[in-house]
Amino acid sequence: MTISTAAALLASAVVACTAAPTPAPSPPSKAQPEPSPTTTAGDSGIDETIVRVRIERLTRDAATAGFETTVMDVLTDPRGWRRAGFMFVSDDHARYQIVLGEGRQVDRLCRPYDTRERFSCQNGPAVALNAERWRTATSTWPAGLEAYRVMLVNHEVGHLLHLHHPQPQCPGRGLPAPVMAQQSTTLGGCQPNPWPLQWEVHLASRRAESLAPPARHDPADHRPSPPPVRGG
């Protein structure tokens, strides 16, 4: 064996002894799921979206006691937005919140909307309900306080689901008012109605836009509208 051949064999042996095995590739990291909302396919054919909400009562008088229970009862009632596939779950750490407060508290939560310390609003992820309205309803509402509270929750949560005030507010004299109509101000000839109508449920079920539309610098959507003008 020549010297050059021996050197070549020795180099091969060193390489064979020191070569490390190729490590297996790491599995791809999994994306963390969004805590809310979560959408799944429902048995009814409508996508079910789980929306976690934080319910807060900023005022502690006896007339507002039970607010949290009433809100969850409305949100989980099969006559409400649940028909559109929205499943609301109470969660103290949720992004979306439903708050009951006095006029000034609601006004701060609703900025840049001008609630005049009387109205309620949806502003981004927050639904802010006026405590005085919760206690007494309004003089133009004829259907009792319990029904008013149901309407108020469904109306403002409807804004959270990206629904707007309909035009006209009343589709015809004697018909049930859309829940998204401004029934706190005027019924315009319609009958008071605390629950979403079928066409409103259909609009919400389409998921055409994301939840919690951002605040706009035009507060007109939450100011009282004049009665609809009827054509001759």
pLDDT tens digit string along 124-173?
999 999 999 999 999 999 999 999 999 999 999 999 999 999 999 999 99
Higher confidence at residue 227 or residue 173?
Answer: 173
Residue 50 pLDDT level (bands cut at 50, 70, 90): very high
In a domain, 227, yes or no: no
What confidence tens digit (pLDDT) does each residue in 1-37 have?
A: 444 444 444 444 433 433 444 444 444 444 444 454 6
In a domain, 45, yes or no: yes
In a domain, 3, yes or no: no
Residue 114, pLDDT above cutoff 50: yes
Contact status, residue 135 vs residue 142, Cβ threshold 8 Å: no
Note the pTM of the prediction, 2 decimals: 0.75
Structure confidence at residue 186 (pLDDT): 94
In a domain, 1, yes or no: no
Residue 228 pLDDT level (bands cut at 50, 70, 90): very low
Determine the average pLDDT of the residues in 58-85.
97
In a domain, 76, yes or no: yes
> What is the total count of domains within the chain?
1
Determine the average pLDDT of the residues in 48-61.
96
For 213, residues 6+ apart whose C-beta sits below 8 A from its C-beta are 122, 124, 159, 162
In a domain, 11, yes or no: no
In a domain, 154, yes or no: yes
In a domain, 102, yes or no: yes
| Axis-axis angle for helices 67-75, 145-160 (nearest 10) | 60
Structure confidence at residue 211 (pLDDT): 86
Contacts 24+ apart (CB under 8 A), 13-21: none
What is the span of the domain harbouring residue 109? 36-208
What confidence tens digit (pLDDT) does each residue in 172-225 have?
A: 999 999 999 999 999 999 999 999 999 999 999 998 877 877 655 443 344 333
Q: Say how far apart CA 191 and CA 187 lie, in whole Å.
A: 7
- Residues facing residue 87 across a β-bridge: 50
Structure confidence at residue 115 (pLDDT): 94
- Residues facing residue 48 across a β-bridge: 40
CATH number of the domain to which 46 belongs: 3.40.390.10
Structure confidence at residue 37 (pLDDT): 61
